[in-house]
Homo-oligomer: A and B are copies of this chain.
Amino acid sequence: MTTKNRIINSAIKNFLVFGYEKTSLSLIASEVGIKKPSIYYYFKNKEELFIFSINHILDSVEQEIINSIKKVDTSKLMLESIFTCMIEFNSNLSLLIGNDYNKPINILNLFHLARNRFSSLSERIDNYYNFLETTILNIIKIGQNNNKIRKDLDDKSLAIKIIAWFEGLFMLSTIYSSFNINTIRQSFYDNMWKMISCENEYIPPKKEKKGFFKNKSKPKTISLGTKW
C-alpha cells in the first residue's frame, strides 16, 4: 500500500468520525506514520484531500451497487440487493474505522457538509442520487410490468420514497441508540416488499362496510389519555 493510499484511508476514517474541521492533518500524519508536511507532497491542501476522499467513497459505492444488481433477476431481489449493498458498504466503512471508535458512522452527514462547502462535490453527490433514483425507478417499472409491484403506486414517487426509506434507516441507526439496523434489516425489507408488492394478501375487514372509510362520517373520538 502506497503512502498516498494510506493517507486517503486515514483521511476517510477521520473525516467520518470527526467531520471536516475536527480532523487535523497532524492526526492523519501520525496515523500514517509520517510527518505533517509530507501530506502536502501528495495533496495541495486539506480541501483537495477531502474532495478526493469523498469522490473515492462515491465511486466505490456506485460500483458495488452496479455489480450486485447484475447478479439477480427479479425486481424484488434487485431492490433487496441495493439495500444489502448499501448496508454492507456502511459496515465496511465501520470496519475501516475500526474497533477503537465505537461511535456510529454517518456518511450522509459528510455528504451534507461536502455539498455545502465544495460545489464540485455538490454535483458529484447529485449524480450519485440521480444514479440511485434512475436505477430504482427502472427496477420498479420492470416490477410493475411483470405484475409484481403494485401499479396503483406512482413509480417515480415510489423510487424517491424507497431511497428516503433506506437513507432514513441508516440515519436513524446513528442517532437513535435503541434502534439497531442489523436486528431489523430482514424484517424491514420483507415488510417494505409487503407494502409495495402485489403479493399483498390483505383481506378487508368484514364487519365494516366497504364505503366506511370514504365517508366523512365523524369517527369515534379516540382518547389519547396521559398513559403515553
Q: A122 near B: Cβ within 8 Å?
A: yes
The answer to whether B168 touches A164, judged by C-beta atoms less than 8 angstroms apart, is: yes
Docked-complex contact B158 and A164, CB < 8 angstroms: no
What is the minimal beta-carbon distance from A43 to any residue of chain B, in angstroms?
21
* Shortest distance between the CB of A98 and any CB in chain B (Å): 16
Say how far A190's CB is from chain B's closest CB, in angstroms.
10
Residue contact A205 to B171, C-beta cutoff 8 Å: no
Whether A205 touches B175, Cβ cut-off 8 Å, given contacts A74-B219, A167-B168, A168-B166, is: no
Residues in chain B near residue A177, CB distance under 8 A = 122, 126
Judge whether A154 is part of the interface by a CB distance below 8 angstroms.
Answer: yes
A147 to B210, CA, bound (A): 11
Q: Which chain B residues lie closer than 8 Å to A228 at the CB level?
A: 134-135, 138
Copies in the complex: 2
Determine whether A106 belongs to the interface, using a CB cutoff of 8 Å to chain B. yes
What are the residues of chain B within 8 A of A172 when measuring CB–CB? 129, 160, 163-164, 167
Q: Are A202 and B198 in contact (CB under 8 A)?
A: yes
Residues of B within 8 A of A111 (CB): 175
- Among B112, B196, B222, which residue has its beta carbon within 8 angstroms of that of A109? B112
Residues of B contacting A176 in the complex (Cβ-Cβ under 8 angstroms) = 125-126, 129
Residue contact A116 to B129, C-beta cutoff 8 Å: no
Q: Which residues on B sit within 8 Å (CB–CB) of A175? A: 108, 111-112, 115, 125, 129
Q: Does A6 contact B (CB under 8 A)?
A: no
Flag whether A37 is at the interface (Cβ < 8 A).
no
Residue of B nearest to A147 (CB): B205
Q: A134-B228, A165-B164, A175-B108 are in contact. Are A187 and B122 (CB under 8 A)?
A: no
Which residues of chain A from 129 to 154 have a CB within 8 Å of any chain B CB? 129-130, 133-135, 138, 142, 146-148, 150, 152-154
A-B contact pairs, 18 of them (CB 8 A): A19-B21, A21-B21, A21-B22, A108-B109, A109-B112, A112-B175, A129-B175, A129-B179, A138-B228, A147-B207, A147-B208, A153-B195, A157-B184, A161-B191, A161-B192, A164-B169, A165-B168, A198-B202
Given contacts A74-B222, A126-B176, 12 further A-B contacts (CB under 8 A): A69-B224, A109-B109, A112-B174, A125-B176, A126-B177, A153-B195, A154-B191, A158-B191, A160-B184, A164-B169, A199-B213, A199-B214
